[in-house]
Structure 1
Amino acid sequence: MSATGPLPGAEHEENSGRDADWQRELREQFPIVTAHPGSVYLDSAATSQKPRAVLDAVQAYVTTSNANAGRGTYPWANRTTELVEGTRERVKEFLHDPEPDHSAVHFTSGTTEGLRTVAHDWLMPYLADGDEILVPFADHRANLDPWLETRRLLAARGVEVHVRALPYQAVSGDYDHRALGDLVGPRTRFVAATHVHHVYGGDMNVHRIRAAVGPDVPICLDAAQSVGHLPVDLADPALDVDFVVFSGHKAMALPGTGAVWARNTRGPAFRPAGWQGTPNTVGIVSLRAALDWLETAGLDRVARWTAGLTTRLTDRLRNLDAYEILGCPTSLAAGSALPTAQRRHGIVTFRHHDIPSDDLGFILYSHGFMVRADSLCQAGAAEKDGSVRVSPHVYTTGEEIDRLFAVLASLA
């Protein structure tokens, strides 16, 4: 699940050289990047750029077999139905689903709708009066609002459900797994968690959540910042979760595309309620092409590349007193083996002590850098404080990170 860390000595230098050649070849496959050499896109945690293979797949579909899925028997409609159903299986393969015959994949517009679908169509009928759920209050709002909404809707029916906040470690920003164990009781029915934090970039150590809550409680994972950015292996016992929800547009597919994967081994099988209308067939075609592209590129290498870029930035930025880097401070030390350290996955978020974050974002854009500069949709009290988030991807170069740091250093 984690990106490979830096390699020592000559072996590291040789590996870095191979990765640089590999990255240059991949970068050339992004038309928007090559068409704007003076612009540096560093907002990949919000949405990723699209490789030519994805754009070509969409163009081929809409010009040769565009039709509705599951609504007709003529060849174009049959082909579209096959594409949609085949992409469900492709998602399972991509996630290394250990039991694809029992699991389910439902397409959505993205992570937000996916989490809300789990909340409304699966969780609400599952809960009874007096049950408890554990949810994150300092992650993305998309992984908090649906669970609070579920509580309100059930309360209107006279069903009282208790929502407990997942505890956090004050220093690292990780979940406090020891305190979590004390919150789990006989009426704990559900846990919502995040795989990689969208502000801090830290791996939230889901395996510790499973150990704390026991083998029977369903866990729903917001994987918006992991799927398409690093390997996600559901056959790994460390990812013993029941739902994985992600956005296709963060994984190099078109906007308006996402998926819910359900293991279907704890609680009732996941089935979206109501009549399912026309799916986003173009988006689903793009998702399949994106998953194919990412697998060919090698997600382990993608994760290693972006982790190297974040290390390249944080190793220098942490020496400038004008800046505060958010998240686990021990993770800033390259190769740290401390148990509290979280590996950063392609995200660096920081504040300047004197320059407001929105102003800093405008300054960086004047130098050609596109970054996220606001509250980052973070739930809880933290959303009131703006920050600047830098999130590279495989199309980002080390030289671009060096140029970014030079501008930041000039402002220190």
Structure 2
Amino acid sequence: MLNKDIRKDFPILDQEVNGYPLVYLDSAATSQKPRQVIEALADYYQNDNANVHRGVHTLGNRATEGYEGARETVRKFLNASSTEEIVFTRGTTTALNLVAQSYGRANIGEGDEILITYMEHHSNIIPWQQLAKATGAVLKYIDLEEDGTLSLEKVSDAMTDRTKIVSMMYVSNVLGTMNPIKEITEIAHAHNAVMVVDAAQAAPHLRLDVQDLDCDFLAFSGHKLCGPTGIGALYGKKALLNEMEPVEFGGEMIDFVGLYDSTWKELPWKFEGGTPIIAGAIGMAAAIDYIESVGLDNIEKHEHELVAYAMEQMKTVEGLEIYGPRDSSKRAGIVTFNLDGVHPHDLATVLDMNGVAVRAGHHCCQPLMKWLDVSATARASFYLYNTKEDVDRLVEGLRMAKEYFQ
């Protein structure tokens, strides 16, 4: 397990909620921020606040250095071959929409197939729904195994010569399932399809190497890996990004503007119209530096130990059903569950009364809820600052909820 002193880096955790010490188990929705990130944001606003790229004054140069330095930090974080392959976005949702609207509109036609899974987040469903409607393409779903995992055989069977795009999450935000992205990418490329990876839940917890994965696009959000909200990144292979047209137009992304026509800047700036999210990028870089200092391998190991302990303890609560892989080693730090006879929202409310924060609802995965044959679930998600004592508080709260509603 990671050193409990890590918790001291997160000032928000040092508080009481409803008279109890806070236990935050909602990091899959958004993670908490360490002092190092908060200080990096404050330092930018207090000392370097200026617009980037355009100016020649000192503050502008310092802001540009910070912003473009953040791009290099992301490049190293993903092991991309060039900073030209790193586009800053508002987050995973914006990045996936960019791929669908730019690459998709230019390369997908009537009868072509877009392949996703039942476990996808809405942000990796709706852009492809809209693309299919606009182009006459066919949106297809890969079925899941009984435990919420993907079999490579079903993935292969679902692909045809008409498959043009395969898009899926690396880690499920509901089931905790860790998908075999590298092997799926190989299958997609064998059918001449591009592979798009939603890494929103993977980037905070797993070491990513886009060159090893060989995926064509990969998106993630800063706020899930200890960074600020409103910032994320899209990785795309340079050859593909070069062919793509921008989907947002204005200042910053232009080269020359005439009265009736314009040309665009080179990569990656042609996709970053308007004043960029400067502070967000700098804050996200500070967050990456922080989790790298802890060690992603250490974080992953810590979460596996926590989720194994959580599943073991939660199974002692009568009437509790846990969804997703039964083998804790095959899931990330997420446990989604229902307690018999108690609505997830009521369950989450009782837990909150005891200072334990969990998420309840459909988790932006309504097709998956239908596949699970439930309307909603409760979810506890763990991160580097959580402990076994947090799990004990969760289980204690579940027992109290059971007694209260009985």
TM-score, normalising length: structure 2: 0.87
Task: Assess if the C-alpha contact under 8 Å between 2:325 and 2:331 holds in 1.
Answer: no
Counterpart Cα distance in 2 of 1:265 and 1:136 = 27
Task: Assess if the C-alpha contact under 8 Å between 1:347 and 1:391 holds in 2.
Answer: yes
- Equivalent position SS for 1:48: coil
Counterpart selection for 1:34 from 14, 19, 24? 14
Task: Assess if the C-alpha contact under 8 Å between 2:351 and 2:401 holds in 1.
Answer: no
Q: Give 2:234's aligned residue.
A: 260
Find out whether 1:284 has 2:281 as its counterpart: yes
Query: Cα offset for 1:177?
Result: 2.3
Counterpart selection for 1:212 from 184, 187, 192? 187
For the structure 1 residues 381 and 249, does the alpha-carbon distance in structure 2 shift closer, same or farther, using more than 3 Å as the test? closer
Q: Give 1:247's aligned residue.
A: 221
Query: Cα offset for 1:88?
Result: 1.4
Please show how residues 31-110 of structure 1 align to structure 2 within 5 Å. 31-36=11-16, 38-97=21-80, 99-100=81-82, 104-110=85-91
Farther off after superposition, 377-386 or 48-57: 377-386
Counterpart Cα distance in 1 of 2:143 and 2:68 = 39
Query: Cα offset for 1:268?
Result: 5.6
Counterpart selection for 2:337 from 328, 336, 350? 350
Deviations 1:111-132 (A, max 9, x none): 1111111111222112233322
- Equivalent position SS for 1:59: helix
Counterpart Cα distance in 2 of 1:344 and 1:95 = 21
Query: Cα offset for 1:267?
Result: 8.2
Counterpart selection for 2:207 from 227, 231, 237? 231
- Equivalent position SS for 1:409: helix
Query: Cα offset for 1:265?
Result: 4.9
Please show how residues 137-156 of structure 1 align to structure 2 within 5 Å. 137-154=118-135
Equivalent residues, number: 372
Counterpart Cα distance in 2 of 1:266 and 1:114 = 14
Query: Cα offset for 1:211?
Result: 3.7
Task: Assess if the C-alpha contact under 8 Å between 1:144 and 1:379 holds in 2.
Answer: no
- Equivalent position SS for 2:282: helix
For the structure 1 residues 255 and 74, does the alpha-carbon distance in structure 2 shift closer, same or farther, using more than 3 Å as the test? same
Counterpart Cα distance in 1 of 2:299 and 2:74 = 18
For the structure 1 residues 28 and 223, does the alpha-carbon distance in structure 2 shift closer, same or farther, using more than 3 Å as the test? same
Q: Give 1:338's aligned residue.
A: none
- Equivalent position SS for 2:12: helix
Task: Assess if the C-alpha contact under 8 Å between 1:137 and 1:379 holds in 2.
Answer: no
For the structure 1 residues 96 and 267, does the alpha-carbon distance in structure 2 shift closer, same or farther, using more than 3 Å as the test? closer
Deviations 1:61-81 (A, max 9, x none): 001110111222211112212
Task: Assess if the C-alpha contact under 8 Å between 1:138 and 1:379 holds in 2.
Answer: no
Counterpart selection for 1:387 from 377, 385, 393? 377
Deviations 1:173-199 (A, max 9, x none): 122321221232222111101100000
Task: Assess if the C-alpha contact under 8 Å between 1:202 and 1:344 holds in 2.
Answer: yes
Which blocks of at least 5 consecutive residues in structure 2 are unaligned?
A: 251-272
Task: Assess if the C-alpha contact under 8 Å between 1:218 and 1:267 holds in 2.
Answer: no
For the structure 1 residues 166 and 266, does the alpha-carbon distance in structure 2 shift closer, same or farther, using more than 3 Å as the test? farther
Q: Give 1:311's aligned residue.
A: 308
For the structure 1 residues 268 and 192, does the alpha-carbon distance in structure 2 shift closer, same or farther, using more than 3 Å as the test? farther
Task: Assess if the C-alpha contact under 8 Å between 1:218 and 1:266 holds in 2.
Answer: no
For the structure 1 residues 61 and 267, does the alpha-carbon distance in structure 2 shift closer, same or farther, using more than 3 Å as the test? closer
Find out whether 1:202 has 2:181 as its counterpart: no
Counterpart selection for 2:94 from 113, 123, 128? 113
Counterpart Cα distance in 1 of 2:341 and 2:195 = 41
Query: Cα offset for 1:271?
Result: 5.5
Q: 2:208 is aligned with what amino acid? A: V
Find out whether 1:192 has 2:167 as its counterpart: yes
Q: Quote the sequence identity (%).
A: 33
